[in-house]
A and B are shown apart, each in its own frame.
Chain A
Amino acid sequence: MLAARAFEPEFLRKLDRLALGIKRARTVRAGQRTLGRIQGLGIEPENFKAYAPGDDLRFLDWNTLARLDELMLRTYRADRQVEVTALVDASASMGLPERDDKLGFALAIGASLAYIGMAENDAVRIGAFSMQRGAMKLEATPFHRRRESYLNFRPFVMSVKAGGETRLGAAVDQLLLQRRPAGIVVVISDFLVSESDVEDALKRLVKARHEVKVVHVMGDQESTASYPSGLFRVRDAETGEVRETVLGPKTAAANRRKVEKIAARVREICTTHAITYAQAFGASNLESFMERELPRLGIVQ
């Protein structure tokens, strides 16, 4: 499975120099919005300041007092509280075509973004959603901040299986019900759903003040429509709908046009709502996508 690639040391080394590109300010723990760097509890020294009555004596710099006989306090940079959620579509359509390993590709991108997010100790988690027995099932890992705990994502990533329908709107509903602070949500999907569902879901994420980034994944075979020629029945993996068709060069051309049309429409929706859109077509392009395409789009820096 391609997802395992995201945990290979060699691959991770290439991501070490990257950081998430975050347009908006990070929030303090109390949820107060400030501009620029903020002071607060943390482990990274920020500055010194003169003691004022009421200050926490725990931060008194005893060395300065001993040398200069002045009461000085150490100030620290507050821990950043940007929560990053990589939301991966785990519907049945992500499992097909099998040789494309589209789901593995999506999970690899999600895990890679989580790893990049940990570069700055951001709280990161990976979630996967799909409809199971008529109900939306959104599973997510706990938040992890430090890269030392990156491997905690591995069991979850490796256990995700494709199945069920894609209901982007329902997944967003469930995510928002968790009432987490606004952060960054990276939606990774093939977007083979109705345009209205895509637009509605993304719009609500934006409305909840999340910074939304969209990664549109497609497999090599799917995007190039390289199916065997002849008379076939094609069955929709999610709805079970069956359609008889003649596969051949004409069909392949029509398929490619359709893929381009879907991608163009998702991009248009993203543009409308100021969402960053990235296109990841072809699992073979994982490294170049992470190292070139995402920095180009500003999703990572």
Chain B
Amino acid sequence: MGLLNPQNFIYGLSLALLVLIYLRSRSRPTIQVSSVMLFDQAPAPVTSVRQMRTDALFWLEMATLAALTLAIAGLYVMRPRVAGQGRSHALVFDLGAGMSAREGSGTRLDQARREAMEIVGQAPVGDEFSVIGYALEAQVRHPQTANLADLRKALGDLVPMAVPARAAALRAALIRARGASEIDLFADRPPPAAIVADAASTARMNFHLVGSSDSNLAIVSLDPGIPGSTPGRALIRNFSARPQLCELAIDLGDREEFHQTHMLAPREQAVVAFGPIRSAGVLHARILTPDAIEADNDRYAYAPSDRPARALVLSPDAAVRDDIARVLLAVNANFQIETADPAKYLAQAKASGPNARPLELAVMHDCYVPAAGAASTLLIYPPQLAKNLPYAAAIGISVRGTLAGADIGSYEMGEAPPLESLALGATRIVAIPEWMDLIATAAGPGHPSIPLAAIGRAAGGPVGVLAFDVRGHLLLAPDHLDALVLTVDLIKQLTAPRDILIVPTGADVSITATATARVTRPDASIRIVAADKWGRVRIRPLQAGRYVVESGGETTQVFANYYDAAESDLGAKSQAEETTPAEKSAAVSNAQSAGEVQPLVFILIALALLALTIESALLIGHAGGWGMRHV
């Protein structure tokens, strides 16, 4: 016995209302008469001396309201399942990285799969099942079917992803499971109660907790340092409640740069210094000690080349040129930076002659000089050009106005956390081309969302746009650290090698390609992807490791890193961990052997009607006793 919608017990307040009505029963309609002496011989009701009339009518009305309240609250009883009713089930699986944790002979997902197979095996003939998976988003892996072979195949095809399972995805998965009469959720940690309550309002919800606490090690971050000069650092973390040995190896290309074993205290996070490494390249850190989750045992970083690179900073403001030059040196100490006033730049460029080395990066603040001709371009606070002087097609942007102030609305890029709202100064209203990826938006007066930062890879090279002005030492102001983070991220992406991308798992990656691209995943599976009309292919790495994208004779390597503190923390003291194994198994077995929900709504409504009928009969009797024809 239970209640499907306990919150509807609020209707039980009607019982209190009834009591109040009866308490007020003495205040009957009052008639003012010329004299009560005319009513000396009139019969008085027997209730006149009582504060509350708890007679049969009262109890019948109480019973009516109580029955209706219980009906609205969804009172039900469990009854044994009746075979062959053709009910529908939804099997919902958490496919986050936590489900890939190895326990014994298999992973947590294997355990969930086995339990699901048991449910399917015990189900009466005619029952239908659907398979839904969720991690970053929800996906129906197999629609409702009574074909057990198809179902088993769909269950077997489930693979955990190297991404965290999001609550929003779980909600979406349960919404997609709404047509089912019974939902079986398999996850390695308890879902939020509110989400489960929503789903339980329409179907019976069985939660199957899989896995138990296990030790896990993870590489939190990897800083390659500067080849030949600055040591690199790796941050490793022990999520176990016990001390753990952590054997860490760091490779640069095929050559091992570092190999050491550390003893990590329970739940310790340690910084391991290494190097400096000898040359530039892709650095690969690995934890060799066997642990639960493999995805967070590998991490890639790109060590930039130590060769000098030319960078040009153009701005009409000398203070801005100085600030940007400082930021560029912080990003890459090997930059050889030239600064100039855009009005005088062309003359200076002619004077330096045609033999100068090509520019790696041109940063243009509040100006646009197409003749700069750099490999990548960053436009900061781009000016609004006259109609006959548009931005070059390789840049593709257009400026439609200026706002006196704006707030950063949303910003999600790379591994940086989302920024909080930040007030900026003057900001251009920039329209970006479709081949550019929007990184951050801002909101200003009359403009709820305008592009604030964007990056794209055009045929002429990467182009980045920052719409806000950086005058007044904005980039160096401690109160505007988020603006600096946004700028540094953009510069890093612009100066990163074109054929090597380091991204977090789950991020959308855009790669320049010809008609089609051949994508090789970390598990060696291959997929052919068609390029869009801007000559790009988009992939979303859901496995940690190296993706290879080959197109038109060019090869791009995408290294996907996975780390999520919550998902990787298998030893976290969650609600599920606090329940004893006995309780857990009882919950699971209860979910498996539980009978069918039998709502009592019709019985309760019938009882309410019966009570009302009896009350009506009593009232008619009373009316007859008082000599009235009607009540």
Contact = CB atoms under 8 A, between A and B. Distances in A.
Interface in B29-78: 29-45, 48
Given A250-B626, A254-B42, A192 B30 contact: no
A254 to B, nearest CB: 4
Instruction: Please classify the interface of chain A as helix (H, G, I), strand (E, B), loop, or mixed, using the class held by over half of its residues.
Output: mixed
Contacts of B48: 244
A234 B31 contact: yes
Contacts of B43: 245-246, 250-251
A222 B36 CA distance: 11
B39 A243 contact: yes
Nearest to A238: B35
A232 B627 contact: no
Instruction: Please classify the interface of chain B as helix (H, G, I), strand (E, B), loop, or mixed, using the class held by over half of its residues.
Output: loop
B32 A235 contact: yes
B628 interface: yes
A9 interface: no
Interface string A210-248: 000000000000100101111111111111011111111
Interface stretch (A29-37, A61-69, A89-97, A274-282): A89-97
Contact of B33 (A231, A236, A254): A236
Contact of A246 (B26, B33, B37, B42): B42
B28 interface: yes
Interface string B613-631: 0000000000000111111
Contact of A222 (B38, B626, B627, B629): B38
B615 to A, nearest CB: 16
B30 A258 contact: no
A48 B626 CA distance: 78
A141 interface: no
A255 interface: yes
A257 B42 CA distance: 11
A233 B34 contact: no
Contacts of A235: 30-33, 36
Contacts of A201: none
Given A248-B628, A258-B40, A96 B29 contact: no
Contacts of B35: 93, 192, 236-238
Given A94-B34, A236-B36, A259-B38, A243 B44 contact: yes
B36 A248 contact: no
A20 B262 CA distance: 131
B34 A93 contact: yes
Nearest to A93: B34
A255 B40 CA distance: 8
A237 B33 contact: yes
Given A93-B35, A238-B35, A243-B36, A233 B42 contact: no
Given A231-B28, A232-B29, A233-B29, A244 B44 contact: yes
Contacts of A258: 37-41
Given A241-B36, A243-B44, A255-B42, A234 B30 contact: yes
B344 to A, nearest CB: 100
A227 B30 CA distance: 12
Nearest to A191: B35
Given A192-B34, A229-B628, A237-B35, A245 B29 contact: no
B41 A231 contact: no
Contact of B39 (A97, A190, A239, A245): A245
A248 B38 CA distance: 14
A45 interface: no
A232 B30 contact: yes
A90 to B, nearest CB: 13
Centre residue among B33, B39, B630, B631 by max chain A CB count within 10 A: B33
B45 A245 contact: yes
Nearest to A249: B627
B41 A232 contact: no
A234 B39 contact: yes
B34 A234 contact: no
Contacts of A254: 39-42
Contacts of B41: 254-255, 257-258
Contacts of B627: 248-250
Nearest to A259: B38
Nearest to B41: A254
B26 to A, nearest CB: 8
B38 A225 contact: yes
A252 to B, nearest CB: 9
Contacts of A229: 626, 628-630
Contacts of B29: 230-233
A96 B35 CA distance: 9
B396 to A, nearest CB: 84
Contacts of A255: 38-39, 41-42
Contacts of B26: 244
Nearest to B34: A93
B29 to A, nearest CB: 5
Given A230-B628, A248-B628, A249-B627, A96 B42 contact: no
B31 to A, nearest CB: 5
Interface string B254-271: 000000000000000000
A222 B33 CA distance: 9
Centre residue among A227, A242, A243, A244 by max chain B CB count within 10 A: A244
B40 to A, nearest CB: 6
Given A232-B28, A245-B39, A250-B627, A222 B34 contact: yes
Contacts of A236: 33-36
B50 to A, nearest CB: 11
Contacts of A190: 34
A239 B33 CA distance: 11
Given A225-B38, A232-B28, A243-B36, 4 more contacts: A93-B34, A95-B34, A243-B39, A254-B42
Of all A-B residue pairs in the complex, the 7 with the closest CB atoms, nearest first, are A93-B34, A254-B41, A192-B35, A244-B48, A251-B42, A229-B628, A236-B36
20 contacts: A93-B34, A192-B34, A222-B33, A227-B31, A229-B628, A234-B32, A235-B31, A235-B32, A235-B36, A236-B33, A239-B36, A244-B26, A244-B45, A245-B39, A246-B44, A246-B45, A251-B39, A251-B42, A257-B41, A258-B37
Interface of B: 26-45, 48, 626-631
